[in-house]
Amino acid sequence: MKLKVSPGRIVVKKREVKLKGAIQLPPSRHKLYEIGEVIEVGALEGYGNERKERTKEVFTPGEMVLFQVPQAMVARVSFQIKGTLMAFLHIGDIIGRLSGDVIEYDAFKILGKFVLLQETIREPSKLIILPQEFQQETKDEITHYSVLQKGADVDAAYDIGQEVFPDRGAGNRITIDNRDMVFIDQSFICGALSLR
């Protein structure tokens, strides 16, 4: 069976082989997160409203991907084809790739326009002493984010390890191999500290 897939779309089916380990994402009423197997891929350039969108990512049938789909869209893009339920996803819905059947950080690669961030909590500076009523520093003010991975379509020049300032409301928590991280679309990173 050969599917003809529209530009900018990837056909996936639910992965039937049991994977070792887990990717944990916060439950959401709005988005469904799943791991699927790539079945077929449409042209990955020349799509979108002005036919100018393209991706540097390469997708191969048989590989496993982590994707997100708005809950309201799941039924609209899923079809039974020869007894198998398949979803026709937009490439922007693909978050990451797994390189094997064991879910661990080293087997996960963030894709597309997403950036994977490490969140760290730093102690407030002890060098500045303020009266007690001014020492109400919140967790947000001492939380810092640094770049762990970036997708091939990230056009901002972020370096691995560079500290960035994301819109905290747009990030998505993800735990892989007991490692807590955040992934975010590059358009929601507000700035970065220069490494030079």
In this predicted structure, what is the pLDDT of residue 143? 86
* 3 within a domain of the structure (yes/no): no
Q: Is 72 inside any structural domain? A: yes
Q: Is 50 among the domain residues? A: yes
Q: Pick the more confident residue, 107 or 102.
A: 107
1 in any annotated domain: no
Q: Read off the pLDDT of residues 104-145 as tens digits, 9 standing for 90 and up.
A: 999 999 999 999 999 988 765 555 555 555 545 554 567 899
Q: How far apart are CA 139 and CA 121, in angstroms?
A: 8
Q: Would you say 118 and 110 are in contact if contact means Cβ atoms under 8 Å apart? A: no
Picking from 10-19, 43-52, 56-65, 126-135, which range would have the lowest pLDDT averaged per residue?
Answer: 126-135
Expressed as residue numbers, the domain containing 183 is 9-192
Is residue 122 in a domain? yes
Residue 12 phi/psi, 5-degree rounding, is -130, 155
Give CA–CA dist 102/107, Å, rounded: 7
For residue 86, tell me if it sits in a domain: yes
Do 33 and 67 form a contact (C-beta atoms < 8 A)? yes
Residue 18: its pLDDT value, please?
Answer: 74
Instruction: Inform me whether the pLDDT recorded for 163 exceeds 90.
Output: yes
CB contact at 8 A, 5 and 41? yes
pTM above 0.75, yes or no: yes
CB atoms within 10 A of CB 88: 18
The answer to whether residue 4 sits within a structural domain is no
2 in any annotated domain: no
| Residue pair 165/192 in contact by the 8 Å Cβ criterion | yes
**How many domains is the chain built from?**
1
